[in-house]
Chain A
Amino acid sequence: MTREQRLELLRLMLLQRQFEDRVLALYRQGRIAGSVYTGRGQEAVAAAAGLALGPDDVVCPLNRELACHFAKGVTVEEAFRNFLGRADGPTRGRDGNMHFGVPARGVFPLVSMLGNLVPVTVGAALAFKRRGEPRVALTFLGEGAFSVGDTHEGLNLAGVWQVPAVFVLQSNGYSYSTPAARQMVNTNLAERITGGWSIPAERVDGTDALATFAACRAAIERARSGGGPQAVEALTLRIHGHAAHDDARYVPAELRAAYADRDPVARLEERLRLDGVGSEELGALRERVRTTVEQGLLEAEASPAPDPAELEDGVWAAPLEKPDRAL
């Protein structure tokens, strides 16, 4: 990994961190409606997987992977417009928070129902295989999503069809308030994926951005070069509650105490310092990210609110020969 790539990885992680901090502040000020989810503690996984994808690869991110959107070229303004429900945002105010995607950048709009996007990812990879294109489709999953039937059907199809799909598992220990051990008997997801579906799965420390990048890139390139579906299980932390309303008091104190040492952003900065990146350069990067976030917010706030008169546009992809509004 080049120095530039490492700095880009950090930039993406900082972008998610600072964006989400900004969003949380806006939420608490009542300037964002609905709910807000963050990926604090998991930025390395989102950024590493996103950065390891090629420009023609596609992805179905979930709740905690904003850095992956940014890696695929989704802009901060676009993301803010979705959180703010603006007319020119990716969902035109029809969906909120991180429930969006930008198809033109290869990002499928997030579907809330966990597991649904696993077969969708497999289908995109099937299209690549059918056409002989050297492209990869990737999605993320948490432990909760791993309990859903769609996930199992999708993994099975990926194996049977040997398609270039990559599954990145975010093992953050919790599904909302439910610890992983109450979600499943064997919490070693890599073992289950390898043993159950014969899909190679590597386990990696998801707070170590460089190791996570290496694992994701290797998996993606194996899939791209005809190695069939691949998985990476990243062991991470969910430093915040499930969403902004959840103070996560159910997380035991010992686990909370570990957060400070395993913050992926701090860890990567420390590593870059060892590599000879000066504090000044790191500070300048942080500042650049801060400016990007603030400018993006300003632009998004200047965007128009959606018009209720347009609500029924786009139910159908193309107008019927004889559209009927009388119904």
Chain B
Amino acid sequence: MRVGRKLRATVEITYLEAVTAALRDALREDERVFLLGEDIGVFGGAFGATKGLLEEFGPERVLDTPISEEGFVGAAVGAAWMGERPVVELQFADFATCALDQLLTVAAKTHWRSGLPLPLVVRMPSGGGVRGGPFHAASPEGLFAGQPGLKVVCPATVEDAYGLTRSAIDDPDPVLVFEHKALYRRLRGPLPPPSLRTPLGRARLAREGADATVVAYGACVWTALEAVERLGADVEVLDLRTVWPFDAEAILRSLTKTSRLLVLQEAARSTGAAGLVLSLVARLGFESLDAPPALHAPPDTPVPFAPELEDAYLPSVESTAAELERLLAY
């Protein structure tokens, strides 16, 4: 979208368009930035996140790759070594497993071992609600959360889809961006100014409250907000934004106020960020608690396909509200 500065704020865009805008602005401002991934050129990416960018920036900066996640993530590492700012798109977050060695072995450990920064970004559509089944609906952020040397962000808003992506590209470390598929076309908001950055490692207070805290990220932030609204409860909702390394202080600060915690996530209950948050709270937030911390997350299975199964699997507004009621009544 080519719009003047003044007009820009009045343009309404989707979460997906915010990602595109962030990529476009980064490409315009910094010639070291280039994109690589499967079908991101002519086709504009499986979800359309790179639509129009090939036309504006050409095939040298919007690079279609063979189907080789390990190969092109490794190539991004090599380009970052040479001072470029590669931004990789994985077609689905599920395919992050195909690039695990480059992410966990090479990208994550290199700076600590050698002092060489590797400023690369890997963006990927994650999450369920689109009937993707076991291979196209996963939330695998938990594989990476807690890994020294890798940063993990999960934007929940249009503003953060822009701001976190820009911050990830600016950042000297490898950053994984888990975009939420179900938010791509559902959320709308003003087009952020090109200067907007969402600081990494900082949570956002999505809603203030006094009686409990819901810690969530990605699409679950909206589930939490709706559940609180439905109950008419005085509950705080903390959007983690950065899942690793996360904003421990913000969580503990909120708990000193509310004394009750619900962790809400779309990743299966023994994965995701929940274990890390609960471990933190058990160790450092114990004194603040008036109730055992609660966890609302899918069971420990892959994401199922059939609508009846997936709807039951994912945390819903209803199931979250019920969970919150139990917590508040404890």
Contact = CB atoms under 8 A, between A and B. Distances in A.
27 contacts: A90-B114, A91-B113, A103-B81, A103-B114, A103-B115, A108-B81, A108-B116, A109-B114, A111-B106, A116-B74, A119-B75, A120-B102, A122-B75, A122-B78, A126-B79, A128-B82, A130-B79, A130-B84, A153-B71, A154-B74, A154-B75, A157-B65, A157-B68, A160-B66, A317-B111, A321-B202, A324-B201
B293 interface: no
A311 to B, nearest CB: 9
Interface stretch (A11-19, A94-102, A170-178, A266-274): A94-102
A123 B149 contact: no
Interface residues of B, number: 52
B282 to A, nearest CB: 13
A149 B78 contact: no
Contacts of A214: none
B81 A122 contact: no
B114 to A, nearest CB: 4
Contacts of B114: 90-91, 100-101, 103, 109
Nearest to B111: A317
B248 interface: yes
A48 interface: no
Nearest to A125: B78
B199 interface: yes
Interface string B198-213: 0111100000000000
Contacts of B84: 127, 130
A58 B82 contact: yes
Contacts of A122: 71, 74-75, 78
Contacts of A94: 112-113
Contact of A127 (B79, B102, B117, B247): B79
A116 B60 contact: no
B134 interface: no
B97 to A, nearest CB: 13
Given A91-B114, A95-B113, A322-B201, A119 B79 contact: no
A128 B83 CA distance: 10
Interface string B173-199: 100000000000000000000000001
Interface in B287-304: none
Given A124-B79, A124-B82, A153-B70, A116 B149 contact: no
Most buried by B among A58, A100, A103, A126: A126
Contact of B245 (A58, A103, A118, A324): A324
Contacts of A118: 74
Interface of A: 58, 90-91, 94-95, 99-101, 103, 108-109, 111-113, 116-128, 130, 137, 149-150, 153-154, 156-157, 160, 314-318, 320-322, 324, 326-327
Contacts of A113: 101, 105-106
B74 A321 contact: no
Given A103-B114, A315-B112, A322-B249, A119 B81 contact: no
B59 to A, nearest CB: 11
Contact of A327 (B171, B172, B280): B280
Nearest to A159: B66
A102 to B, nearest CB: 8
A119 B72 contact: yes
Contact of A119 (B71, B173, B247): B71
B77 interface: yes
Contacts of B71: 119, 122, 150, 153-154, 156-157
Contacts of B78: 119-127, 137
Contacts of A111: 105-106, 109-110
A122 B75 CA distance: 6
B34 interface: yes
A127 B82 contact: yes
Given A154-B74, A160-B66, A321-B201, 6 more contacts: A111-B106, A120-B74, A130-B84, A156-B68, A320-B245, A322-B201
Contact of B106 (A120, A127, A154, A317): A120
A227 B149 CA distance: 37
Interface string B142-161: 00000011010000000000
B75 A157 contact: yes
A150 B70 contact: yes
B284 interface: yes
B96 to A, nearest CB: 15
B166 to A, nearest CB: 14
Contacts of A318: 117, 171-173
A60 B175 CA distance: 23
B76 interface: yes
Nearest to B65: A157
Nearest to B61: A130
Given A122-B75, A324-B247, A109 B110 contact: yes
A231 B246 CA distance: 45
A316 B111 contact: yes
B73 interface: yes
A322 B250 CA distance: 11
A327 B245 contact: yes
B72 A157 contact: yes
Contacts of A149: 70
B175 to A, nearest CB: 11
B113 A321 contact: no
Interface in B34-87: 34, 60, 65-66, 68, 70-84, 86
